[in-house]
Structure 1
Amino acid sequence: MDMSLSKRYDPSITEPALCDLWQREGTYHFKREDEQPEQREIYAIDTPPLTASGNLHLGHAYSYSHTDFMARFWRMNGYNVFYPMGYEDNGLPTERLVEKRMGITALQVGRTAFIEKCLEVSDEVEKDYQTIWQRLGLSVDWRYSYRSIDEWSRKTSQWSFIDLYKKDLAYRREAPTIWCPTCHTAIAQAELNDLERESEFVTIVFTLESGSALPIATTRPELLSACVALFVHPEDTRYTHLIGSQVTVPLLGFKVPLLADPKADPAKGTGAVMCCTFGDVTDVEWWYTHKLPLKIIIGRDGRMTEAAGEFAGLSTKAARQRMVAQLEEHGLLLKRESVTQSVRVHERCDTPVEYLVAWQWFIRVLDFKQQLLEAGEQIEWQPEHMHTRYREWVENLGWDWCISRQRYFGVPFPLWYCRQCGEVLLADEELLPIDPTTQQPTHSCQCGCTDFAPEEDVMDTWATSSMSPQIAGRWFADPALYARVSPFALRPQGHEIIRTWAFDTIVKSFHHFNTLPWKTVALSGWGLAGAGGEKISKSRGGGPMAPLKMIERYSADAVRYWAASTGFGKDTLISEEKIKNGAKLVTKLWNVARFSERFLEGYQPVTDGIELTPTDRWLLARLVSVIRRATNLLQNYEYATAKGEIESFFWHDLADNYLEMCKERIYGEASPLREGARYTLYSALLTTLKLFAPFLPYVTEEIYHGLFAGHEGHPSIHLTCWPEANPDWASEQAEAAGEILIEVATAVRRYKSEASISLGAELSWLFLSTPDEQLATMLEAARLDIMSVTRARGLSIGTGLALHGATEIARKEGVITIGLEK
């Protein structure tokens, strides 16, 4: 065995070298059928394709580490792990990154030139991402990387649309659409967030047929010219006699009906409310339900249109201010009050959305709520309570999924419109992927026309990433591979995109294949920054601490240690203190290995002929408990608790106690009990390294190479077998005996501390007395180990020693009385 551990472990040198070694040797390569002698069960991971929208931050290191813990665990358990990496680079986030970095827009430079810049920037960003992921130690098989804008992704996404269209599950219509004035595109319901802001509630005077006033409170008086009705609750006795009457709109003079609907809240404002086309989603629902007229006064740029009369060209904010001023001037403003208002905003830019009428493409989901709920019931959710979020999202859906975007850098819809009859012509599937703006159909329309208009909208990025199992599994390119890896074992993702990525993928899998895309969904929380625990975003700067900077300062293992401190589904503060603790653990592991090196040189672990002390049997029994506990926890995705159990064993049992107890035997080459200590140390240290390997891949690999690779026969610790609990080691009695020995050691340490004696100082004599003869026999068998840990030059053990001023340790088995002499 090559004993080559350096005196000091330097992660800044070791980690990059190991990273290169893993890539060079294909340590984490998925084995195809022709590459492995036996067929192993596959564990396939549908890894989140990162959006190319800015700098990675520690929140990404946090959540992506969680996936890697599980990949490494299952790989060591004999699974053939399929672990690809994807990049989401076909949509609005990448466009906004290009606009921000280069100060250009598609309108300025043209569609083609803008797309080229998007490809250029996303390529640079993704290379940076890969550098960080490899340095963090993600055990990804980079041969299976994909981009959501690459050929196979576009082909898969376009096939998906064509299949849905043929099944009447995709349709186009002119309809009220959620619109972002900043991004100049339609967005889906799932892309909305709620934002609290200060606003103003104004009460204005409408006029009843009798000439009396009807007060209406609103936060959007600029929409008066789009008012098409007023609504009251059908049981609101203040207004029941007015239902069906005509009411005059202030300043503008036209009349609208006063109607009844249960959605009108009698407790809000005056109980009567405007319906304008459109102020919010309730206006849309009322417009549909009551078949009201349509008046659009806000354009795609968020400004008032010509239909708004004198307000045309103004922003909604400026129009609001002018309308309030005019109402006040004409005595039609009864009250103004400041309120905190929750508004719906686009998650990408925090712009309040508008509701405009436009032609859009939709995927049917509202008709399939029950089936989608049943699909969610068949998936394992980690943690389980996250299933509730999915269920509530499906139950509260109010819109079909809008998948068209009025942008440029995305997957094109594979279709054209006949300029003569308006018929939709789909692209031939064998020619996918296609770009209808640069290519023409291969055949004429059924009406005989050969003049076509391309669909210029692109698909929502989720319409492509919702096919990530098929893209990652190379469904088109390699059907045999896809058949082996599908359904995927794991979908790891953020809890905030259950409503988008998880839901959309389930929708696509259901509509296309009537199957589940994966068996388990594991939801990571956020890494939060600052005293207030703010969510950090790569599109908004990437947070205060860059991952590479933190890795260079403390090591990748230390950052992963912090990431392993909190379980799935939980947010956590970015803690440099915890990262420092991870660095301390790495150093301690190295020091323990360095200490062990001299005793394990040339050692071949054998059990024949060796004698184990109670201390050895205790540590091996503890090892069995830790293996069983950690294995069960990791099988159930509870990696944080597993890491805690392993760490506790290493610090408390192995480092702090066993090494101190076995020193007398392991240093004494003539001791007949030395081999028992060497066997125990070898077994415990190697097992500890394996248990830590999913969390701390670098330092465990380096120690393994230096101490164990020659005998174990595997080129990497990450290709060894996960530890199995040896039933011959299991013993509750041995564990109990070990706890007694630790209590003896602890009592002596406490005595030394209280007497201001160095813990390493020798004692001239230690007396142990107990009325329990069986316990005394165990203590005698551990004589050398007790003397080693207590630094006692002499030791007396008996059942009737008379000791003056002794320390007593009360136990169920009896009482140990400790007498001490300096």
Structure 2
Amino acid sequence: MPEANLPKTYDPAGTEARWQQAWEASGAFHPDPGALGEPFSVVIPPPNVTGSLHMGHAFNTALIDTIVRFQRLRGRNVLCLPGTDHASIAVQTILEKQLNAGGQRKEDLGREAFLERAWEWKAGSGGTIVGQLRRLGYSVDWQRERFTLDAGCSAAVIEAFNRLHEQGLIYRGEYLVNWCPASGSAVSDLEVEMKEVDGHLWHFRYPLSAPATAAAAIGRTHLEVATTRPETLLGDTAVAVNPSDPRYAALVGQTLTLPLVGRQIPIVADEHVEAEFGTGCVKVTPAHDPNDFAIGQRHQLPLITVIAKDGTMNAAAGRFAGLDRFAARQAVVAAMEAEGCLVKVEPYRHSVPFSDRGKVPVEPLLSTQWFVQAEPLAARCREALANPSGAEPLFVPERWSKVYRDWLTDIRDWCISRQLWWGHRIPAWFVVSETGGAISDSTPYVVARDQAEAQAKAEAQFGTGTHAHPVVLEQDPDVLDTWFSSGLWPFSTLGWPGERAQGAPGGPEPADLARWYPTSVLVTGFDIIFFWVARMTMMASALMQDGEIPVGGRDTWMPFRDVYIHGLVRDENNRKMSKSAGNGIDPLLLIERYGADALRFALVREVAGAGQDIRLDYDRKSDTSATVEGARNFANKLWNATRFALMNLGGETPASLGEPEPAALQLADRWILSRLARVNQGTAERYTGYGLGEAAKGLYEFAWNEVCDWYLELIKRRLQDPAQQRTARQVLAKVLSELLVMLHPLMPHLSEELWHGLSGEAESTFLALQSWPALNEAALNDQLEASFAELIEAIRVVRNLRAVAGLKPSQSAPVRFLTVRSELAALLREATADITALTRAERVEVLSPEQAEAASSAKGNQRALAGVSGELQVLLPIEGLVDLDALRGRLEKDLAKAEKEIKGLAGRLANPNFAGKAPPAVVAECRANLAEAEAQAALARKRLADLG
């Protein structure tokens, strides 16, 4: 039996900690792959181990947990798998800054000692993150927690690299990459952030190499080019013009003398050049610009690198060698001016690529790196998206599929090697020589799964060496891009490749992979569609198929069936919330103040639609949030409603009370049961279709307005009447218990606590593992719900009239309803007892207009206040109950106040300086205030007229 009372106030901290511990200790969320129930799986986006979580993580967590808890209630065999990401560049940058602050470099420690330090960092940061996720109430399987550098994920990375290399999809070659001088590593295109900066456009003369007489005949002695990066002209190998530009047609094939260097460079024609832009002449530096690199490939131009990987000029830069790239820029400009080659300098605002991690401008550099051939993989993903039988994956909202598809089109090869120590070391071994030696771009190599396999491959391919000096191998010192291992996340976390490794595609799959792959839904922000979503589908297209057939006999190789894209969390000023912007909020601050359930509910309820950003108001001085405070108030409302029920159920539970007899149901019972069924139906549909914000709003309105504000009030008198209380108890218990189940995905701790109080179940039995309430379609009654809504409005009108009259709560007054609709009149008569109880009515009369007129004539001209709701007129006779003169005086004051406000607002709007120059939002607010004042004035006049 339930306790007679819950504590008077709700303690979120104690309640949440107790249930989190109970769920985890019992293994409530540790599913068995062999258990019954349709599989449903989610692998959470792994947070980077770079410190602690931010509000974006809390938002993502709330959405995912809402989805998986609902699916559990629906009887699915649910796996929600947690984990963290090693975040190569980010973590190594943090650690190197720590070392530098102490006067050390990572080289002073050596690779092994540095990696030990990185693992210590991971233990601290990863532990903090896991603790935060637990505080949020994540119903994940902590026994299956993964880390992108754990043994299983590392084995998957090695296997994936080898398979992709065997398929010819991974290669090593020289290519122009984005180089970050700050981190000393290549970064992918997606790790480059374009920023608008104020710079300059320098115009230079490049003299023609032809003799003066020939130049005079051509009519030119030089060409003029413009550049934002003068330092790179030292590596120019051509000047390009558009082949259709008549100004330069005679010059194509001629040569120019490169100023400061003296090198002869050709004039080439290339379609990439826009004749209308600038002078129509473009300097070509193939080793330092991706577009120039492409021009260079088309015209077989030499590649001359003049900037080193540390951001200084190298020996090929001649007299500028050793200068920082930005210092060299100024020096080159000065030298060009001294030689008379500087034409002009213009201010120029343009986009500059910055390293997302290093926060410095990236340098396009030629470098020998490892690459994945992206186009064959992207093509498979495009085909799946265009599948006529159903696009894979299904994006919610659908518009994000275009963003995904566009990125998969005209895609460049993916540079996957990083010059770092923290990460997955590339499983390639160089044959350095019989006695060892430096690795060069031409050093032969083998790709293998371990050192022994590498040794065997090398000896088979290159010979065994001499007896005294066997083949010497050295593993590639570089590591893989973090997104390589993240791209395997949906299947590496489920045990891939298992016994299918070592090129044995016929081996059995791990049980988790066989049961829960493909995963059901990926929940993530739109900002990593490129970084992560596409990478996972591309990797799966190569690794989760045997030829053209998905592995394991499944119907698809796609790593997830749905992709639910959500927006960003924005602050009180509508700015994106982030640590770097200084406007982030630590979720724990709000959890400590309001509880995890309040934060979760507030975040989900704010979702206006899938993919939309949400705004979280926050007072930084007091660490308070009106949004979350409203959710906390909702939690308190539910707490008090359940306490009320426990005090009125006579010690019984929903199970012991049983279902109410249909014949015993009163009007309010039939209405609330219809609404309960309607909310059940709508909430299930919204949860299923990812309409999570709409589900939260619907449950809030039902619980607060219909259950607490109306139904509880309507049954209070019946709960004290032995002849009526059993049915009232049955309906109340049923409504509250089913409401708590429906709220559980959103507010798991609170609902678990209240459900136990209501049901009397042992603490080892969890609401989290119960079934979704069965839908009682027979209870659905559209007409009753519409009619009851009219009844509620009628009661509101009576209450408003009592407030206008200034009646005390203890005073009763007659209430008269006038309507021409017979069905509405019948409803009001059936609800007379309810109306009497909720309006303190002395008596309730329901009349037709003709009956009302006859009654009025018989009683004389009785003073009454009147109100209207739809087709219903409400009269509240007040003569003899209130001081009419005092009431008239109060109404006249209200009218005067409203008229004064109308005059001021109308005058403002009539002023051209205000109406034409004020911000549109301010003018709109003024108009809205005027309309409100006019309505108040009209109402006051009507009340005065009613008084006579």
1:418 touches 1:445 (CA, 8 Å); kept in 2? Answer: no
- The answer to whether 1:734 aligns with 2:784 is yes
Once the two structures are TM-superposed, the CA of residue 529 in structure 1 deviates from its matched residue by: 3.8
Once the two structures are TM-superposed, the CA of residue 819 in structure 1 deviates from its matched residue by: 3.5
The answer for the alignment partner of 1:175 in structure 2 is 175
Alignment equivalent of 1:675, drawn from 726, 733, 736: 726
The answer for the alignment partner of 2:122 in structure 1 is 122
Once the two structures are TM-superposed, the CA of residue 661 in structure 1 deviates from its matched residue by: 2.1
Q: Which amino acid aligns with 2:676?
A: L
1:228 touches 1:257 (CA, 8 Å); kept in 2? Answer: yes
The answer for the alignment partner of 1:470 in structure 2 is 491
CA distance in 2, matches of 1:435, 1:766: 94
The answer for the alignment partner of 2:233 in structure 1 is 224
Once the two structures are TM-superposed, the CA of residue 128 in structure 1 deviates from its matched residue by: 0.5
2:176 touches 2:288 (CA, 8 Å); kept in 1? Answer: no
- The answer to whether 1:249 aligns with 2:289 is no
User: What SS does the corresponding residue of 1:419 show, helix, strand or coil?
Assistant: strand
The answer for the alignment partner of 2:362 in structure 1 is 353
Q: Which amino acid aligns with 1:602?
A: E
Q: Which amino acid aligns with 1:382?
A: V
Once the two structures are TM-superposed, the CA of residue 652 in structure 1 deviates from its matched residue by: 1.9
The answer for the alignment partner of 1:136 in structure 2 is 136
The answer for the alignment partner of 2:876 in structure 1 is 819
Once the two structures are TM-superposed, the CA of residue 695 in structure 1 deviates from its matched residue by: 1.1
The answer for the alignment partner of 1:510 in structure 2 is 541
Deviations 1:409-453 (A, max 9, x none): 11122221223595433334xx6xx799xx966873433232222
CA distance in 1, matches of 2:31, 2:94: 34
CA distance in 2, matches of 1:188, 1:709: 57
Once the two structures are TM-superposed, the CA of residue 87 in structure 1 deviates from its matched residue by: 0.8
- The answer to whether 1:415 aligns with 2:428 is yes
CA distance in 1, matches of 2:125, 2:70: 30
Deviations 1:366-389 (A, max 9, x none): 244432212234211112111111
Once the two structures are TM-superposed, the CA of residue 530 in structure 1 deviates from its matched residue by: 6.2
- The answer to whether 1:498 aligns with 2:529 is yes
Deviations 1:440-468 (A, max 9, x none): 66873433232222211111111111111
Find the structure with the greater CA-based Rg.
2
Please, what is the CA RMSD of the aligned residues?
2.3
- 1:378-457 equivalent positions in 2, closer than 5 A: 378-397=392-411, 399-420=412-433, 422-428=443-449, 444-449=459-464, 450-457=471-478
2:306 touches 2:313 (CA, 8 Å); kept in 1? Answer: yes
- 1:366-765 equivalent positions in 2, closer than 5 A: 366-376=375-385, 377-397=391-411, 399-420=412-433, 422-428=443-449, 444-449=459-464, 450-477=471-498, 479-514=510-545, 515-529=557-571, 531=573, 533-537=575-579, 540=580, 543-564=583-604, 565-566=606-607, 567-575=609-617, 576-600=625-649, 601-603=651-653, 604-608=657-661, 611-666=664-719, 668-670=720-722, 672-710=723-761, 715-757=765-807, 760-765=809-814
Once the two structures are TM-superposed, the CA of residue 109 in structure 1 deviates from its matched residue by: 1.3
- The answer to whether 1:770 aligns with 2:819 is yes
Once the two structures are TM-superposed, the CA of residue 816 in structure 1 deviates from its matched residue by: 4.7
CA distance in 2, matches of 1:740, 1:541: 50
Q: Which amino acid aligns with 2:782?
A: E
User: What SS does the corresponding residue of 1:231 show, helix, strand or coil?
Assistant: strand
| Alignment size in residue pairs | 803
Once the two structures are TM-superposed, the CA of residue 138 in structure 1 deviates from its matched residue by: 0.9
> TM-score, normalising length from structure 1?
0.93
1:233 touches 1:261 (CA, 8 Å); kept in 2? Answer: yes
1:57 touches 1:542 (CA, 8 Å); kept in 2? Answer: no
Q: Which moved more, 1:251-260 or 1:318-327?
A: 251-260
2:836 touches 2:842 (CA, 8 Å); kept in 1? Answer: yes
User: What SS does the corresponding residue of 1:253 show, helix, strand or coil?
Assistant: coil
Once the two structures are TM-superposed, the CA of residue 320 in structure 1 deviates from its matched residue by: 0.6
1:657 touches 1:789 (CA, 8 Å); kept in 2? Answer: no
The answer for the alignment partner of 2:150 in structure 1 is 150
1:405 touches 1:460 (CA, 8 Å); kept in 2? Answer: yes
Once the two structures are TM-superposed, the CA of residue 261 in structure 1 deviates from its matched residue by: 1.6
CA 530–116 in structure 1, closer or farther in 2 if over 3 Å, else same = farther
Deviations 1:274-318 (A, max 9, x none): 111333221121122221101001111111111111211112111
The answer for the alignment partner of 2:49 in structure 1 is 52
The answer for the alignment partner of 1:9 in structure 2 is 10
Q: Which amino acid aligns with 2:407?
A: W
2:377 touches 2:541 (CA, 8 Å); kept in 1? Answer: no
Once the two structures are TM-superposed, the CA of residue 225 in structure 1 deviates from its matched residue by: 0.9
> TM-score, normalising length from structure 2?
0.81
Gaps (5+ residues) in structure 2?
Answer: 386-390, 434-441, 465-470, 499-508, 546-556, 618-624, 857-861, 882-948
CA distance in 1, matches of 2:664, 2:181: 78
Which structure has more relative contact order (CA 8 Å, sep 6+)? It is 1
CA 535–299 in structure 1, closer or farther in 2 if over 3 Å, else same = farther
Q: Which moved more, 1:19-28 or 1:672-681?
A: 672-681
Identity rate of aligned residues, in percent?
30
User: What SS does the corresponding residue of 1:29 show, helix, strand or coil?
Assistant: coil
Q: Which amino acid aligns with 2:532?
A: W
- 1:785-796 equivalent positions in 2, closer than 5 A: 785-796=834-845
2:491 touches 2:559 (CA, 8 Å); kept in 1? Answer: no
Deviations 1:654-710 (A, max 9, x none): 1222222222222x223x333332222222222222222111111111111111243
Once the two structures are TM-superposed, the CA of residue 820 in structure 1 deviates from its matched residue by: 4.2
- The answer to whether 1:69 aligns with 2:66 is yes
CA distance in 1, matches of 2:457, 2:141: 39
Once the two structures are TM-superposed, the CA of residue 729 in structure 1 deviates from its matched residue by: 0.9
Q: Which moved more, 1:119-128 or 1:523-532?
A: 523-532
CA 608–202 in structure 1, closer or farther in 2 if over 3 Å, else same = same
Gaps (5+ residues) in structure 1?
Answer: none
Once the two structures are TM-superposed, the CA of residue 494 in structure 1 deviates from its matched residue by: 2.2
Deviations 1:222-243 (A, max 9, x none): 1111001111222223222322
Alignment equivalent of 2:335, drawn from 305, 309, 326: 326
CA distance in 2, matches of 1:407, 1:505: 23
User: What SS does the corresponding residue of 1:50 show, helix, strand or coil?
Assistant: coil
Once the two structures are TM-superposed, the CA of residue 742 in structure 1 deviates from its matched residue by: 0.6
CA distance in 2, matches of 1:531, 1:325: 46
User: What SS does the corresponding residue of 2:206 show, helix, strand or coil?
Assistant: strand
